[in-house]
Amino acid sequence: MRLAKDFKGALSPYSNQQGSRAFHWSLPPPGFHKVNVDGATSLDGTSSRIGVIIRDSTGHVTAAMSKPLPAHYSPETVEVLALENGVILAFKMNISPVIFESDSLATVQSMIAMESGGPLGHIICEIRSSLLHFYSWILHQLESQQSSL
């Protein structure tokens, strides 16, 4: 349900609301594509899912995907796996230059710090290695704003 809501919200170039947080999405600069990634994990421990949406500089959806993961993972793991799948999809579509955007500050910070230790270090190293295939890329956190809803 959350992925469907996120996808519907992603089709709007204005904002995506999640709980009490609202995320402001903005168009990428001319010539760029933006790859937004997100992960979700159930509160009851039964499933985890990821989603990716790619838009061009006019806001047109170029590609999107969502998929269930084979097990229940922590929120941190799911967010890193979502980013990995976003990078893979953008590479397969030969998109560059590209902006990768995640609402997970921890994921973005781990990527910037090039953390290679810990339980997610091997995935972060693989993502960093995959990013070398892009002509130009940027990674940042989707900015959240307080929601009045």
The domain locations on the chain are: 2-12+33-143
Give the CA distances from residue 27 to residues 51, 57, 118, in Å, rounded to whole numbers and listed in that order.
19, 6, 34
pTM of the model: 0.79
Per-residue model confidence as pLDDT tens digits over 52-84: 999 999 999 999 999 999 999 999 999 999 999
CA distance 29 to 99: 9
Q: What does the pLDDT look like over 5-30, one tens digit per residue? A: 555 555 444 434 444 455 678 889 99
- Domain range 2-12+33-143, CATH class: alpha beta
Question: Residue 50: which pLDDT band, with cuts at 50, 70 and 90?
Answer: very high
Find out whether 114 and 126 touch, Cβ atoms under 8 Å: no
Please report the sign of the dihedral spanned by the C-alpha atoms of residue 106, residue 110, residue 115, residue 116: positive
Please give the pLDDT value at position 12. Answer: 46
